[in-house]
């Protein structure tokens, strides 16, 4: 068995050209790949991350693949700071005029002990739930005015093996997003969540630093037998962001090679 390093070729017309998107976590992993695929499809992207220069470097990479791709506008922000979601939303609207698509890809694992402090729980919930909700709610009024919007949030497992504040926050995202989807559907806005399995990102590679450790886990836990590539989940995010997915909302879709064991 070998690593899969095939890129995802997007040949279908997604109907995305000319739209705008705000992508958080755009400096690495799933967020970076999602921003790249959107730009290659002609979407102007407001790429938000703590490491802004890494987002800026993405433009060079994209231009090599398609000189006519839309730009990725880098913007540095730290969502641990109070008021940052509102600042990001305001700057994206000022810069692009509107935000058609929101991709919430920022966040991070927060494993904690049984006797973790309130501060530890709050930090994990703030980054992985409260800031996502605040950013989304800051952008929805303009989407309502435009009578169109797509909100996709990358979340996490529903089968936790340990205490992790991020897992709890992601479960909150699923319930919040479901309720929100019903409220905004009349305005042409859809809200969906994607659950990444073992997708090959910086965070995952720290946990499985060798090919042997990766394959050992995949053999035991992933029916497809390998870890996924960021493009394999980003491609689904693109579909959900497109006009083609206008009848899909309020869903939670795992992208995990079949590793989840629940049927519904």
Crossing angle of helices 84-96 and 131-146, rounded to 10° = 30
pLDDT above 50: residue 26: yes
* Within-domain flag for 263: no
- Give the CATH number, domain containing residue 193: 3.40.50.720
Beta bridge partners of 255: 196
Per cent of the chain over pLDDT 70 is: 92
* Within-domain flag for 2: no
Residue 211 corresponds to which tokens in the numbers above?
């090919």
Per cent of the chain over pLDDT 90 is: 58
Task: Dump pLDDT digits (tens) for 30-50.
Answer: 999 999 999 999 999 999 998
Overall residue count recorded for the chain in this entry = 264
Position 161 confidence tier, pLDDT thresholds 50, 70, 90: confident
Q: Quick one: which of 175, 72, 189, 94 has its CA closest to 133? A: 175
Q: Do 133 and 172 contact (CB within 8 A), yes or no?
A: no
Task: Dump pLDDT digits (tens) for 61-96.
Answer: 998 999 889 999 999 999 989 999 999 999 999 999
Position 58 confidence tier, pLDDT thresholds 50, 70, 90: very high
* Within-domain flag for 166: yes
Residue 246 per-residue DSSP state? T
DSSP line for 109-151: --B--TT--HHHHHHHHIIIIIHHHHHHHHHHHHHHHHT-EEE
Q: What pLDDT shows up at residue 3?
A: 42
Q: Rounded to an integer, what distance in angstroms lies between the CA atom of residue 171 and that of residue 236?
A: 20
* Within-domain flag for 11: no
Q: What pLDDT shows up at residue 190?
A: 98
Q: What pLDDT shows up at residue 2?
A: 36
pLDDT above 70: residue 28: yes
* Within-domain flag for 136: yes
Give me the sheet containing 44-49, strands edge to edge. Answer: 72-76, 44-49, 20-24, 101-104, 149-154, 189-196, 252-255
* Within-domain flag for 7: no
Radius of gyration of the chain (CA): 18
Task: Dump pLDDT digits (tens) for 104-148.
Answer: 998 766 766 687 888 887 788 888 899 999 999 999 999 999 999
Task: Tell me the CA distances in angstroms from 74 to 56, 103, 146, one per residue in order.
Answer: 5, 15, 24
> What's the chain's average pLDDT?
88
Give the residue with greater pLDDT, 172 vs 11. Answer: 172
* Within-domain flag for 264: no
pLDDT above 50: residue 180: yes
Task: Dump pLDDT digits (tens) for 183-197.
Answer: 999 999 999 999 998
Q: What pLDDT shows up at residue 112?
A: 67
* Within-domain flag for 52: yes
- Count of domains in the chain? 1
pLDDT above 60: residue 4: no
Position 1 confidence tier, pLDDT thresholds 50, 70, 90: very low
Q: Which domain holds residue 187?
A: 20-255
Beta bridge partners of 72: 45
């Amino acid at each position: 068995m070998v690593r899969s390093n095939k890129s995802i070729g997007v040949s279908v017309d997604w109907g995305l050209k000319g739209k705008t998107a705000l992508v958080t976590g755009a400096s690495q992993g799933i967020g970076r790949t999602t921003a790249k695929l959107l730009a290659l499809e002609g979407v102007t992207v407001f790429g938000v991350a703590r490491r802004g220069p890494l987002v800026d470097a993405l433009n060079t990479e994209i231009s090599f693949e398609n000189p006519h791709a839309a730009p990725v506008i880098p913007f540095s922000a730290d969502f641990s700071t109070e008021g940052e979601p509102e600042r990001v939303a305001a700057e994206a609207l000022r810069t692009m005029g509107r935000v058609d698509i929101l991709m919430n890809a920022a966040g991070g694992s927060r494993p904690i002990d049984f006797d973790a402090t309130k501060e530890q729980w709050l930090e994990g919930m703030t980054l992985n739930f409260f800031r996502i909700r605040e950013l989304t709610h800051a952008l929805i009024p303009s989407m309502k005015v435009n009578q169109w919007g797509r909100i996709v949030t990358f979340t996490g497992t529903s089968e936790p093996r340990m205490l992790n504040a991020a897992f709890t926050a992601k479960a909150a995202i699923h319930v919040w997003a479901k309720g929100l989807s019903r409220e905004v559907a009349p305005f042409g806005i859809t809200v969906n969540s994607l659950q990444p399995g073992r997708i090959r990102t910086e965070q995952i590679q720290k946990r499985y630093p060798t090919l042997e450790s990766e394959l050992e886990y995949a053999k035991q836990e992933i029916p497809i037998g390998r870890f996924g590539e960021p493009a394999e989940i980003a491609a689904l995010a693109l579909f959900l962001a497109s006009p083609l997915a206008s009848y899909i909302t309020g869903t939670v879709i795992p992208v995990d090679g079949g590793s989840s064991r629940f049927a519904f």
